[in-house]
Structure 1
Amino acid sequence: MLRYLLPIAVFISLLGCSSKNEKELDLEAVDLVKFEASVKLNRIWSRKAGSGQDNRYTRFSVALDGQGNIYTAGYKGDVQSFEANTGKKGWSINTDEPISGGVGVDTNTVYFGTYNGTVHALDSRSGEQLWQVEISSEVLSAPVSNGDLVVATTIDGRVFALDTKTGEQRWSYDHALPVLTVRGTASAVVTASQVIVAFDNGQVLSLSASDGSTQWEFRVARPQGRTELDRIVDIDGTPIIDGGYLYAGSFQGNVAAVSRGSGRVMWTKAASTSYSMAAAQGKVFVSTEDSRIQAFNAITGELEWENFELKRRNTSGPVVFDSFLAVTDGYGYVHVLNQSDGKFAARFKMPGGKQRSRGMPRIPLLSDGEILYTYADGGKLSAYTVKTEE
């Protein structure tokens, strides 16, 4: 069966053009509202970090290793390491590989996948290549490791678990995909005992890390509607774990919370998102397709607040840093919101971003909890902290 892959921007355009309501044809983004900033951000460093992102519809994620280092990859095949607190460059190499989805990292190793369907492992201290393995097809998200396994998901619906030291395949899982999907894949969530994977049919599976057998499964959303466009319910944002719960969201579907251990559904709420969510202070934060920033109660699923003042500005997935929440938009702005009520606290223009008109933000923001990192399409990596009163 032939599958069609649509870039998300193209799909949203098709939805708008198919509407019978003339008011819905007005897809202009709202102007930015003025507000009095309640916090100041301090840019502690900014560095050129390789070639950045090209015009293909991929998301070049950046990775922190928990040991004070941050890693980036660019579309020309370059990979870099930096000290996360200072921006000092550690190493930079050109792999000459068509990197497709950014980098993942564990204690000793940096991983990336390619459009050619290979997974590569580099020594995190030197950038030296340790191994490379060919798998079935394009790897459009960053491989993820628990130190023993590295897991890569491919565009054809397969999951590969590889030995971190040798690249040898431990197991694989094959999942049937819909006829029509939005181009992109979520990274797996890998723990010592679980490999949790989200698929383009709205389904989430927990597989045993040891052998790939199914532990539980549930559907965030089920396809509905008369046309294949209507029935798209892709999960392209990586699910998140917070305590004993797993949270996931689908395009044209729902956001949902399940028990991490059993897969038992705790709650679902109607929402459409293509990005990863964030969790903090008993809330789950979501950026929807129409650029609503929403906060749901993490236990009950009740909507606690909503900010719709970025309407149709194509906001990214949210990240938590300090006591705030941050999203980017398609015009290169970073918006900082209060976690408590969703009100704007600060705003700044991302340095080094390519100028676009209503573009889709594709490189996710990143945070270690205290520092906010931005990686612009043009390859500029920057770090911010909340400015304290002197």
Structure 2
Amino acid sequence: MLRLLAVVCLLALLSACESNDPKVLAMKPADLVEFTPTAKLQKIWSSSAGAGQDTRYSRFELSLSDNRLFAADTKGRVYAFDAESGKKLWSVDLDISVSAAIGSDGDRLLLGTYNGTLHALDINTGEQLWQVKVSSEVAATPAGNGDIVVATTVDGVVYALEASTGAVRWSYDHTVPILSLRGSGSPALTASQVIVPFDNGQLVSMSSSDGSTQWEARIGRPQGRTELERIVDIDGTPIVDGSFIYAATYQGSIMALTRGAGRTQWSKDMSTTQNIALASGKLFVSGDDSTVTAFSAMGGETLWENSALKRRNIGAPAGIDDYVAVIDADGYLHLLQQSDGAFAYRFKPRGDTFRSPMLSANGSLYILADNGKLTAYKVASKP
């Protein structure tokens, strides 16, 4: 199965900076707007989580459990930190080429490799509990619910493994499209469900016990004549919140579905390759044009839209206190008011570029830079 990488042409953006052609200028990233800061993010601690990520387009994630923060780098080094102080609790070097990290089920840490192995570590010590060979590269951060561990591979196979031993409980083989974006959304697990996003815009709910299909839903439908036009990947992890599931696709929709039956509660045209965020009854989405939009989680109404960051290639949003944060390709973090999308603060966090989604928990915002710099911030008093 041929799986191709869809990439953005940076040369076109660079030429836009030197051209007076209106069509070329239309591709230029928006200039930063001036505003009066009404909030501030204060650094709490900073540390190193190894070498970070390499040039392959992975998006490592942070994991939090019992006030411990976990991170990994592409060389197989795994780190545990005290989430409040940043003190390093332990680290291990697995000497593996990590493609997807780091998941947690409360007892185990979970990561996958480019050469198709899945690893589980003891969350308290980093000791390797088991490793399992799978069919191909692990495409997204594995997930677990204490009973099973679920991982997806680039050739479309979903593996459910016994959490205690790594033995395969069941697997599900899904056809992948000829052309898709690099990367995949991680599965979302409940006690009885495994909800998996696929590269063809399909969301499938499976029984955690035996892998039987409970329901299937289309978040995006391929349209257009060319394979590029027909890409509808779900590259963000679905959000499970009570009786609803939220998911979004590239060149497709953002959608709310009932968790039990997969029925559509509401749907809006939207295109994103990032994780979406849920806070205070609002869904926050970073569109592919770098417009930030807030939707009502219950009804899907558009509450506000901030288009001042267009074409700045922003990452996934993260809610913190009364704000939502995004980081652009130049390394600027933009803090917006959750109420109306107005700019509240802007600064450059420690690090270089930021592919990893930010993690917001317990009033802190944790940011992992591509070079492995890990920093915790909190909202401080107004400047």
For residues 84 and 131 of structure 2, what CA distance do their matches in structure 1 show? 30
Matched, 1:310 2:309: yes
| Whole-angstrom distance in 1 between the partners of 2:11 and 2:163 | 39
Give the superposition deviation at 1:23: 2.0
Amino acid in the other structure paired with 1:383: A
Which letter maps to 2:379?
Answer: V
1:370 aligns with 2:363: yes
Distance (whole Å) between structure 2 residues aligned to residue 88 and residue 9 of structure 1: 38
2:379 maps to what in 1? 386
TM-score, length-scaled by structure 1: 0.93
Letter in 1 for 2:195: I
Helix, strand or coil at the partner of 1:96: coil
Query: Over residues 117-144 of structure 1, what are the superposed CA-to-partner deviations in whole Å (9 max), with x where a residue is unaligned?
Result: 1000111111111110001111121110
TM-fit CA distance, 1:367: 0.9
User: Aligned pairs, how many?
Assistant: 378
Distance in 1, Cα, partners of 2:41 & 2:279: 20
Q: C-alpha distance in 2, partners of 1:279/1:332?
A: 23
RMSD: 2.0
**1:182-210 CA distances to partner (integer Å, 9 max, x unpaired)?**
11111000110000000000000000011
- 1:45 counterpart SS class: strand
Write the letter of the residue equivalent to 2:51. S
1:268 positional shift: 1.0
Contact residue 3 and residue 181 of structure 1 kept, 8 A: no
| Alignment partner of 1:98 is 2:97 | yes
Gaps of 5+ in 2: none
Q: Distance in 1 between matches of 2:159 and 2:240?
A: 21
How far does the alpha carbon of each residue in 1:241-300 deviate from its partner, in whole angstroms, 9 at most, with x for none? 222211111101111111111100011111100011111222111101000000111122
Following the alignment from structure 2 to structure 1, what is the Cα–Cα distance between the partners of residues 307 and 60? 27
Counterpart in 1 of 2:163?
A: 164
In structure 2, C-alpha distance between the alignment counterparts of 1:164 and 1:90, rounded to whole Å: 24
Q: Give the 3-state SS of the residue equivalent to 2:135 in structure 1.
A: coil
Structure 1 residues 45, 78: CA separation in 2 closer, same or farther (over 3 Å shift)?
same
Which residue is equivalent to 2:55? 55
Distance 1:253 1:12 in 2: 27
Quote the Cα distance in structure 1 between the aligned partners of 2:53 and 2:370: 5
Give the counterpart letter for 2:38 in structure 1: S
Structure 2 contact 67–82 (Cα < 8 Å) conserved = yes
1:89 aligns with 2:88: yes
* Distance in 2 of aligned mates of 1:93 and 1:282: 39
SS at match of 1:23: helix
**Aligned partner letter, 1:209:** S
Q: Secondary structure at the match of 1:131?
A: strand
- Aligned partners of 1:190 and 1:274: how far apart in 2? 20
Query: Alignment partner of 2:8: what SS?
Result: helix
**Contact 2:76–2:97 under 8 Å retained in 1:** yes
Structure 2 equivalent of residue 206 of structure 1: 205
User: Given residue 385 of structure 1, which amino acid in structure 2 is its aligned partner?
Assistant: K
The alpha carbon displacement at 1:157 in A equals 0.9
* Cα separation, 2, equivalents of 1:327 and 1:180: 28
State the secondary structure of the residue aligned to 1:31: coil
CA contact (8 A) 1:61 1:142 kept: yes
| 1:4 Cα offset (Å) | 3.2
CA–CA separation in structure 2 for the residues paired with 1:214 and 1:4: 25
Q: Superposed, which structure 2 residues align to 1:16-55 within 5 Å?
A: 23=23, 26-55=26-55
Distance 1:374 1:139, change over 3 A: same
Contact 2:44-2:378 within 8 A present in 1 as well: yes
Q: Is the 8 Å Cα contact of residues 11 and 182 (structure 1) preserved in structure 2?
A: no
For residue 46 of structure 2, what is the amino acid of its counterpart?
A: S
1:357 is matched with: none
> Could you tell me which amino acid in structure 2 is paired with residue 5 of structure 1?
L
Paired residue for 1:115?
A: 114
Matched residue type, 2:350: P
Secondary structure of 1:9's counterpart equals coil
Q: Distance in 2 between matches of 1:343 and 1:277?
A: 19
Aligned-pair identity in percent equals 52
Q: Which amino acid aligns with 1:246?
A: I
